[in-house]
Amino acid sequence: MTTPQGRHFLQIPGPTNVPDRVLRAMDRPTIDHRGPEFQALALRVLAGIRTIFKTEQPVVIYPASGTGAWEAALVNSLSAGDRVLMFETGHFASLWKALAERLGLQPEFIAGDWRHGADPAAIEARLREDRGHAIKAVCVVHNETSTGCVSPIGAVRKAIDAAGHPALLMVDTISSLASIDYRHDEWGVDVTVGGSQKGLMLPPGLSFNAVSEKAVAASKTAGLPRSYWDWGEMLAINAKGFFPFTPATNLLYGLDAAIDMLHEEGLERVFERHARHGEATRRAVRSWGLEVLCQEPAHYSGSLTAVLMPAGHDADRFRGTVLDAFNMSLGNGLSKLAGRVFRIGHLGHFNDLTLIGTLGGVEMGLEVAGVPHKAGGVQAAMDFLAQQQESQAASHAAE
């Protein structure tokens, strides 16, 4: 086997590339997690992460993957047999539903086609039918990582309010946090679920629950068993800068650095950068004569783009060709999209040149794999990005 040269291009939609600054921050001796140095770090991180969720309310940090944060959101706020309304946006919405079933909840799916985000009107209609308020929570994935479709969370909150329904609103932001505009407080979200390994530019290993006052109140009477995930114990000791169990100290060092990086760039510019890269990628895909999976422009993702393969061509074989020839990993299709799509991640520590390298690998891969396409996708992306840079320069000159 020939040893690949150059840095591996990790262009899956998470885990994402970890910046050197974050790696260096984590490359420190582990300290006493009951001492004053750790206390200062924890208080700083617990305050800083609130700014990323755009909330004044607490954010609980777990040493876990996003799946742990899903479970924490449900077990802290619900009781066995509670009905939960969910929207089928894709693979990860389906996994959250399956987890709810295993916990003894009764999730109800509003069917979707995996090519659009959640429909607020359908959610409102179902809640209006629930006159007895049997539904205790509405769960929506903000950015469905399997499809590249974004759900309009602000509109979902308005739909719940319009129905006059008291259900909690829970939102998965695992592949949108710090990449796509998100506003926990302003949008009236009760529990926001997040993970470290995508827009936050960290390795896997941290997960989050941002919790509203309403959610904390619900946790006082919720009946599902919980111990490790319990918000009450966490919130009480977090207030003093500590954790009830051994925390992931070195990941917290990295999170501290990542929060600083996001604020130095400015969250709005972070969102603009991701939107720009999403649009450039879609222009490349269309120039190749291929089809973007997401069909609703208002639902396009800045985090990733899922691309449909032409009939008769297997996406996984194509991905294998790209990996072997160019040392680049692309995301695979999940569950019913297996073999039908590949996913281009363009989130986290990512710039224009990284995107052009990524798209160059895809275009060369299409040629090597014999996938029918047109040339010029990379050029279309470059033209768009150059125009954006010119507009930005002109705007700065006018200031």
Do the domain assignments include residue 8? no
Domain edge (last residue) among 263, 292, 325: 263
Domain edge (last residue) among 218, 243, 263: 263
Do the domain assignments include residue 134? yes
* Count of the separate structural domains present in the chain: 2
* Strand segments (E) across the chain: 9-11, 59-62, 83-87, 106-110, 135-141, 143-144, 149-150, 168-172, 191-195, 207-211, 291-292, 304-308, 328-332, 341-345
* pLDDT tens for the 399 residues of the chain, in order: 567 789 999 999 999 999 999 999 999 999 999 999 999 999 999 999 999 999 999 999 999 999 999 999 999 999 999 999 999 999 999 999 999 999 999 999 999 999 999 999 999 999 999 999 999 999 999 999 999 999 999 999 999 999 999 999 999 999 999 999 999 999 999 999 999 999 999 999 999 999 999 999 999 999 999 999 999 999 999 999 999 999 999 999 999 999 999 999 999 999 999 999 999 999 999 999 999 999 999 999 999 999 999 999 999 999 999 999 999 999 999 999 999 999 999 999 999 999 999 999 999 999 999 999 999 999 999 999 999 988 887 776 776
Q: How many CA atoms lie within 13 A of 46 on its CB side?
A: 25
- Which residues participate in the annotated binding site? 343
**Same structural domain, 218 and 145:** yes
- Which residues participate in the annotated binding site for substrate? 343
Domain edge (last residue) among 238, 263, 288: 263
CATH code at 41?
3.40.640.10
Q: Are 200 and 175 in contact (CB under 8 A)?
A: no
- Give me the domain span that covers residue 320: 267-398
**Same structural domain, 182 and 223:** yes
**Same structural domain, 258 and 271:** no
pTM: 0.96
CATH code at 274?
3.90.1150.10
